[in-house]
Amino acid sequence: MEPQLSSFLTNISLPHLPNILALLVLLPILLTPIIHFLIINKRSSSSSSSPSSSSLLLPPSPPSLPIIGHLHLLSLPLHHSLSRLSSLHNNSPLLLLRLGSRLALLISSASAAEQCFTKHDLTFANRPTLPSSQRLSYNFTTLVAAPYGPHWRNLRRIATAELFSSSCLNYFSHVISEEVAFLIKQLSGGSGFRKVEVREKLDELALNVVMRMMVGRRCDEEEGRRFRWVVKEGFELVKESTVGDFLPFLRRVGNAGREKRMVRLEKEADELFEKTVEEMRRRRSRGEEGEERTIVGRLLDLQEEDREYYTDEIIKGVILTMIAAGTDTTVETLEWAMSLLLNHPRSLQKVRSEIELLVGHDRRLIQVSDLCNLPYLLSILKETLRLYPVAPLLLPHESSQDCSIAGFHVPRGTILFVNAYHIQRDPNMWEEPKSFKPERFMEGGAATGLGYKIMMMPFGMGRRSCPGEGLAMRLMGFALGAMIQCLEWRRLGEEEVDMEEGAGMTMPKAKPLEALCMPRGIIV
């Protein structure tokens, strides 16, 4: 999942909004946006005046300001400000927002989201092509950023049928097992409790799993540093990105520093990905690849079959997607899960007992194949994803034609924004929505009926949902289970772990998790 798209509203650069507003009082600048605003309004009215749509009402909309629309109502973290906005308007399931020159539909209910991704799934299969995302998506050609059409359908077919198919995931199970075993050995140093920064170790785990799947080897220290910098800098640039995505006439105002950083990031990332592709190409030419399957190797096979289509840019786009979507999101979920368990020791002991009951007295390390027999462990992951979805606003979609949602008219070209965080904590849908209760996902629990599937959407919904869900659940489930089975865990002190959310494109912890751990003598 490419992070630069996971929250299109992050492209507003909220900290700089007061300066932008000050600029708007200047007459020379003000004249241009007024004209632009009137043109947009004319287009919107004409698109809504067809006989089929004129009788339908637009969704409710808060009072807005000229030119900037509703930008002044937003603050970080965006999913919280949008939840408050919905609450202030009688918990409306839909709100129509004007973000500068663009219309956006905010969805805050499971039923409305279901309509968007079932009945109108094809209508909302597009992504908005925001200028700030172009450099970080190989000109909108990656699986996450590409507009709906033949190219996207081909990438999706490759992802589901080859890269993330059941047979492919089964093949790479040994990679997950070996890397998790390496993580446990790192955390098991010494005989007593010692303090560890959990995120740092999880970062290494996630990156090495992805690298071994892509090219068949682990990262060296310098390479790992560069990959992590690319992901972090990309996240930061999107978080700080310009209002120019929604106010085009201001695209070049105060943007020089960010543009330089974007150019540097694009260059650094492309060189890193190019080096990865060339390394794999050299190994193949020397016959060093052997029988080992790799993702980049398979893409090079496809390139040999059709060089015109499967360019190096397409292959590098897959690497970008794997690194961006397969590292930070996995790490953040595991960090939230461990934090929740440290604050709920009964749940920690309950899942450890479940694991010990399964493996018996031979003290063996659990296997990836054991996950289907560990329902409470998987329930902990589901409850973590409910409370702390890594993409709280999902990925943005865009309507390719006029449609009707919950009886309201939605014009073509409207950006769709689904507040999964709000939906997954909706008190009308969930009992004690803010409480950590994995039991709700156990057999017979409140969240096990057919209806709960539309209430849980951490990997998105519809045809553009994340194809890597199966890989993510395997890696997170096995890593969390092994950490619980092989190590004793304690908080640093009597106080509970701080659960404050950080501001960002995904949902990081404001304070990285530090904890005490000690080996339990399980054979690894």
Alpha-carbon span 491 to 43, nearest angstrom: 57
Asked whether residue 403 is marked as a ligand-binding residue, the answer is no
Which DSSP string corresponds to 335-367? Answer: HHHHHHHHH-HHHHHHHHHHHHHHHTTS-PPP-
Q: Which of 495, 111, 203, 175 is nearest to 339 (CA)?
A: 495
Q: Are residues 126 and 148 in contact, defined by beta-carbon separation less than 8 angstroms?
A: yes
Which H helix or E strand runs over 416? strand 415-418
**Phi first, then psi: what are they for 106, rounded to 5°?**
-95, 120
Alpha-carbon span 196 to 490, nearest angstrom: 11
Collapsing DSSP states into helix, strand and coil, what is residue 148?
A: coil
The tokens describing 228, both together, are: 């992590």
Alpha-carbon span 49 to 300, nearest angstrom: 50
| Single-letter residue type at 458 | P
Q: 60-94 burial, b for 16+ CB within 10 Å, e for fewer?
A: ebbebeebbbbbebbebbbbbebbebbeeeeebbb
Alpha-carbon span 480 to 372, nearest angstrom: 14
The tokens describing 98, both together, are: 């004007």
The tokens describing 511, both together, are: 């304070």
**Phi first, then psi: what are they for 421, rounded to 5°?**
-60, -45
Q: Which long-range contacts (CB under 8 A, 24 or more apart) does 357-364 make?
A: 359/485, 363/521, 363/522, 363/523, 364/522, 364/523
Q: Cα dist. 373→137, 381, 478 in Å?
A: 39, 14, 12
Place of tokens 């906005």: 85
* Numbered residues of the known binding site: 466
* Numbered residues of the known binding site for heme: 466
